[in-house]
Amino acid sequence: MPRTRIHNLSISLDGFATGEPQSAEAPFGHAGERLHEWMFRTRFWATGASSDHAARGSAGVDDAFAERHSVGVGAEIMGANKFGPPGWQDDPDWTGWWGPNPPFHTPTFVLTHRPRAAMEMEGGTVFHFLDASPVDALEVAGAAAGGQDVRIGGGPTVVRDFLAAGLVDHMHLVQVPIVLGRGVRLWDGLEGLEEAYDVEAVSSPSGVTHLTFARRAVSSPSA
Amino acid sequence: MPRTRIHNLSISLDGFATGEPQSAEAPFGHAGERLHEWMFRTRFWATGASSDHAARGSAGVDDAFAERHSVGVGAEIMGANKFGPPGWQDDPDWTGWWGPNPPFHTPTFVLTHRPRAAMEMEGGTVFHFLDASPVDALEVAGAAAGGQDVRIGGGPTVVRDFLAAGLVDHMHLVQVPIVLGRGVRLWDGLEGLEEAYDVEAVSSPSGVTHLTFARRAVSSPSA
């Protein structure tokens, strides 16, 4: 069975995965780049998706977690708010934030109530637009993933929907030591989430804390 | 100058320092003991305030943080919700949760809009009842602390009030890997709190993460 995974989702101490207001100039609102500075400093980020192992960027625990983002992933599902700023649906030429060669390199499903025709980008990314529930989107993405896993790419609203529906097997969060005060909160409506997961925390010398939620194996009643 | 300190304040991943509803039977509401199990397993807790160094309880990072609770503290300030369940002000015989010998052993100031006469307990704890702002309460407690530090003992509402007023020099939080979903949140209204502090995070083998906020030294403009 392919797994459903979340990677590198960065949140503030108060649980916000983005600030506000989100715009073309400020995709994360008043959070700016503060939630992701830890990632920009990693070798994973510095070398992009290439196999160029130049000695740039940190190579420790932050990098080890960051680079799991793409390994074994055959499709991504993202929310409309990740694909573009508010109102991108009104711009027929909008193709996402990432230029001609987006960093997904797989079929990528954008959840929106206003779907459009698929877009084939360079590097293997094909954007598909779906107006679907989490469970239905996962069925479509799973079929497209070629036996590999499906990544839920965010933003926080979509992640929360998939968590609430019990559809996430693995979640990696990065807690950044800032208090954002406002934005979109990850945790709302997820009381007791830890009951279905083994949770592990490890702090990094960079100041962030990595949290891993691994879904517990369901043991056989006769075992 | 005496410092104002917070120790062993436990919060869930979603930032709640207590569950709900709070009552005489459940001081932390639906959170039960889950926020404090890490502390119950320490040597600090197992040996109480005595100097009995029996080899009971964990002696690692959780214990190292826990035992700083009392060192160098000459007075505590606590909120009404820490002193008793809702309505304790209507019970003239209520003397707190802790029996005849409370674990404070110093003057202890309870903030309440319905003050009563002071109570001298065993072991050095004297409860005083104050209807005062954070800054005024701190002045009174500081004078009673005999040159030692003042601990802000919680609950979260009082801690938040002192943080918002810029009155806290040192804060130790313990993040427990559970999602409580409801209760009293620590972080509300504290956007940008990290700007005044050096923040450090360290995860423990027990699963919790210790967060330390140490107020930055104000450097001299001519330095």
- Cβ of A57 under 8 Å from any chain B Cβ? no
pLDDT digits (tens, 9 = 90+) for B44-54: 998 874 455 55
Q: Are B17 and B11 spatial neighbours (Cβ–Cβ below 8 Å)?
A: yes
For residue A182, what is the nearest residue in chain B, using CA coordinates?
A: B191
Task: Provide, rounded to the nearest whole percent, the portion of chain B with pLDDT above 90.
Answer: 91
Q: Which residues does chain B have within 8 Å of residue A193's beta carbon, measured at their own beta carbons?
A: 179
| Angle at CA of residue A15, ends A14 and A17, nearest 5° | 130
In a domain, B223, yes or no: no
- Cβ of B14 under 8 Å from any chain A Cβ? yes
pLDDT digits (tens, 9 = 90+) for A175-198: 999 999 999 999 999 999 999 999
In a domain, B61, yes or no: no
Q: Which residues does chain A have within 8 Å of residue B211's beta carbon, measured at their own beta carbons?
A: 13, 177
In a domain, A222, yes or no: no
In a domain, B150, yes or no: yes
pLDDT digits (tens, 9 = 90+) for A84-127: 999 999 999 999 999 999 999 999 999 999 999 999 999 999 99
What does the H/E/C string look like for B129-178?
Answer: EECCCHHHHHHHHHHHCCCCEEEECCCHHHHHHHHHCCCCCEEEEEEECC
Residue B192 Cα distances to A35, B48, B214, angstroms: 13, 36, 14
Coil, strand or helix at A98: coil
Strands A209-215 and A197-203: antiparallel
Higher pLDDT, B51 or B154: B154
In this prediction, residue B108 carries a pLDDT of 98
Sign of CA dihedral A51, A57, A60, A65: negative
How many residues appear in chain B? Answer: 223
In a domain, A22, yes or no: yes
Residue B164 Cα distances to A30, A72, A122, A168, B17, angstroms: 20, 46, 50, 37, 17
Indicate the number of domains in chain B.
1
In a domain, A220, yes or no: no
ipTM of the complex: 0.91
Q: Do A191 and B179 touch (CB under 8 A)?
A: yes
In this prediction, residue B208 carries a pLDDT of 98
Instruction: Give alpha helix (H) positions in chain A.
Output: 37-40, 43-46, 61-66, 80-83, 134-144, 156-164
pLDDT digits (tens, 9 = 90+) for A159-169: 999 999 999 99
- Cβ of A216 under 8 Å from any chain B Cβ? no
Q: What is the CATH classification number for the domain harbouring A125?
A: 3.40.430.10
Cα B165 → chain centroid: 17
Q: Are A70 and A49 spatial neighbours (Cβ–Cβ below 8 Å)?
A: yes
Give the domain range for residue B182: 4-49+70-88+100-215
Out of A50-64, A152-166, B46-60, B87-101, pick the least confident.
Answer: B46-60
Terminal Cα distance for chain B, rounded: 21
Amino acid at B77: I
A180 closest CB neighbour out of B191, B201, B209: B191
In a domain, B113, yes or no: yes
In this prediction, residue A217 carries a pLDDT of 83
pLDDT digits (tens, 9 = 90+) for A11-59: 999 999 999 999 999 999 999 999 999 999 999 998 874 455 556 899 9
